[in-house]
């Protein structure tokens, strides 16, 4: 789940850190529209993957920092989930596929993130293509 108050906290810390930065200046430096940044900060909307990437880069944070998924940034993606899980596999053999449910959850989360990113890419391409045809 996206945690909007982390953006609010980062912006507040930046503004109170001796720099007199307006929300407009911060948004301009990120390459984001001011109103969008205000909406993200106030929890009125959620940033797209592209917008969140800009925010994360600006604040020098991992994108997972903005989500309530403990341990995501600790995953070594070169390690199989079964190597991460320390419990005995035998106690999880109750699933219909006979696989460890933590492995299934891990794979599902990765697939979901890939689908979300692809969805955003396709939406952006569709909008650009539509604008090119009408413009």
pLDDT at 82 over 60: no
CATH number of 1-74: 1.10.260.40
Q: Would you list the domain boundaries of the chain?
A: 1-74, 79-135
Q: Which residue carries 């609010």 as its tokens?
A: 8
Cα–Cα dist 128/125, whole Å: 5
Rounded CA-CA distance 38/53 in Å is 16
Tell me the whole-structure pTM to 2 decimals. Answer: 0.50
Q: Round to whole Å and give the CA distance between 94 and 110.
A: 23
Q: How far apart are CA 61 and CA 52, in angstroms?
A: 10
- 39-59 confidence digits (pLDDT tens): 998 989 988 888 888 988 888
Q: How many whole angstroms separate alpha carbon 1 and alpha carbon 131?
A: 32
Contact in structure between 82 and 73 (CB atoms under 8 Å): no
pLDDT tens for each residue of 110-135: 888 888 888 888 877 776 666 666 65
pLDDT band at residue 97 using 50, 70 and 90 as cut-offs:
low
CA distance 68 to 66: 7
In this predicted structure, the answer to whether residue 89 has a pLDDT above a threshold of 90 is no
CA 60 vs. chain centroid, Å, equals: 14
Q: Residue 18: which residues within 8 A CB-CB, separation 6 or more? A: none
């Amino acid at each position: 789940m996206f945690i909007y108050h982390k953006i609010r906290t980062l912006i507040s810390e930046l503004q109170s850190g001796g720099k007199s930065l307006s929300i407009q200046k911060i948004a301009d430096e990120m390459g984001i529209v001011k109103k969008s940044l205000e909406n993200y900060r106030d929890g009125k909307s959620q940033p797209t993957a592209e917008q969140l990437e800009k925010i994360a880069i600006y604040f020098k944070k991992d994108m997972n920092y903005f989500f309530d998924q403990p341990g995501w940034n600790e995953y070594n993606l070169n390690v199989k989930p079964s190597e991460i899980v320390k419990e005995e596999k035998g106690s999880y053999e109750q699933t219909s596929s006979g696989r460890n449910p933590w492995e299934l959850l891990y794979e599902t989360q990765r697939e979901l993130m890939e689908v979300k990113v692809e969805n955003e890419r396709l939406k952006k391409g569709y909008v650009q293509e539509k604008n090119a045809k009408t413009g």
